[in-house]
Amino acid sequence: MNAQEMIETYVNEVATELPRGQRDDVAFELRALLNEELQARAEGAGREPDAAMAKELLVAFGRPTEVAARYRPTLTIIDPADGHAFLRATLIGLGVIWGAGLLSHFSSAPFESIEQFLGALGQFWVRTLVASMWWPGVLVVGFATASWIRRSSPRAADWTPRDGVRTTGDRVGLAFAIIGMAFGAFVLWDPRWVLDAIFGGLFGIKAAPIAYTALTYTEGFLSGAGPWLYAAVLLNVPFYGAVLINGRWTPMLHRAALAHGAVTCMLMAWAVLDGPILKTEAADSMAKALLVLVGAMSLMFLVLEVRREVRPKPDLGAATGG
Amino acid sequence: MGDTDAFSKVESELRRGAVVLATLSQLRTPRYGYELRQALADRGMPIEEGTLYPLLRRLESQGLLKSEWRIEDGPPRRYYALNADGKKLLKKLAESWQDMNGTMTRLLKED
């Protein structure tokens, strides 16, 4: 390939990365400029332009995709300010999904044969690792939308002061949430009540006996993690009641909420690992899946809350003066 | 990070804004890409060709430059020059640069 062919190839690679309307004109100008640059170099070196000289010029000019990008306004999908948050959310989310996948596909370990292990590995690969790519995709769309909104309405992204540790927002909303928590606790005391309320109340008939069995707690659960977990769930009602009366999260309430959340997560893990919760296998699997989901989300929320805590103090050990 | 790395990184950040101002300053009269690069280099502001040529198109798409193809002595060349908005911007940027330059000179003298 001679110098001229090299320039033609390079210009073509740059131009194909540009919008169609701009392509030909930029290509014509770029080729003329590169030829002029090459001629000047050749005159400076006191010899005819050759392929090596052209290659040196084009390498210094930059990779065609980078050069094409310089011809256009910068396109930012995710704001640089969001880069760390995006990476953190991606890694934490993938960690949770992969962890849940490991538990789900390798819960029957130790395996009886290598084929069984490879089968589980294959399932983990396809159903968890490959399938988990939806999470970064969702994050890209979310962060890109936030970035676009901030650029479209810069005032909407202005910083606004927060009251105290964290405002609770609408008190009416919080009151409804407490009522919801109390109702949820009531249902959890004996889930069979739901069947009576629906079938007995509306149609005057009883649900099938198997439905009652499905929603009956096992003895093991009732004598193990059950009462503790129920107490932790019930504790939400006075807790949020205190926030409602107080009007905001105080530092003490905030710390107590974190501790309560951590204990609840541990109790949920105990309940999942400590044998069946409900008497039928299908209902038990469903209940455990829900507990794992709620537990994972609570844990993620807790980790984020702890990470967001700031206690201003000088880091004397990190000072670099002297 | 070594001293050289730190210097080249900070210096390239310092130059980034100056490149635009330097380019605008040399386009009060129409010039084509290679001629502009030579003019800047002759005045002590060499700019890599891979940076300058795309920059001209970007400044034009931002509505600061006007351009036209001319055929004089040699192949057709695209000439760029400041338009009315570009001239106004250059005036403002030059004032801002002078202020900053004065401030920096004072700051650096204090040390």
| Chain B residues near residue A37 by CB distance under 8 angstroms | 34, 49
pLDDT in tens, A249-262: 788 888 888 899 99
- Measured on CA atoms in the order B16, B22, B25, B26, is the torsion positive or negative? negative
Separation CA B72–CA B45 (nearest Å): 27
Burial (0-12, 13-18, 19+ Cβ within 10 Å), A26: buried
The answer to whether residue B17 neighbours chain A at the CB level (below 8 Å) is: no
Rg (C-alpha) for chain B, rounded Å, is 16
| Residue A98 neighbours by CB under 8 Å, 6+ apart | A128, A129, A132
Q: Is A74 on the interface with B (CB under 8 A)?
A: no
Adjacent-strand bridge partners of B69? B78
Spatial CA neighbour of A305 closest among A244, A260, A246? A260
The pLDDT assigned to A322 comes to 46
Is the bond into A110 cis (omega within 30 degrees of 0)?
A: yes
User: What pLDDT does residue A214 have?
Assistant: 82
Looking at residue A165, its pLDDT comes to: 44
What is the per-residue pLDDT for B85?
96
Per the CB < 8 Å rule, is A71 touching B34? no
Burial of B58 (0-12, 13-18, 19+ CB in 10 A): middle
pLDDT means over runs of 10, chain B (111 residues): 78 89 96 95 93 94 94 87 96 96 90 58
Contacts of B58 in chain A (CB under 8 A): 70-73
Give the helix/strand (H/E) hosting B67: strand B65-70
B94: its two tokens: 């030059």
User: What pTM value is reported for the model?
Assistant: 0.64
Whether A82 and A143 have beta carbons less than 8 Å apart is answered as: yes
Residues of chain A with pLDDT under 50: 164-165, 322
Whether residue A30 and residue B61 make contact (CB cut-off 8 A), yes or no, is no
Q: Who among A33, A40, A72 is closest to B33 (CB)?
A: A33
The closest alpha carbon to A184, from A194, A174, A175, belongs to A194
Residues 6+ apart with CB under 8 A from A90: A135, A136, A139
| Cβ neighbours of A7 in B, within 8 Å | none
> What is the value of ipTM here, to two decimals?
0.86
> Burial of A321 by CB count in 10 Å (0-12 exposed, 13-18 middle, 19+ buried)?
exposed
**Set of chain B residues whose Cβ sits within 8 Å of the Cβ of A28:** 76
pLDDT digits (tens, 9 = 90+) for A248-303: 778 888 888 889 999 999 999 998 888 888 888 888 888 888 888 888 888 888 88
**C-beta atoms of B77 and A60 within 8 A:** no
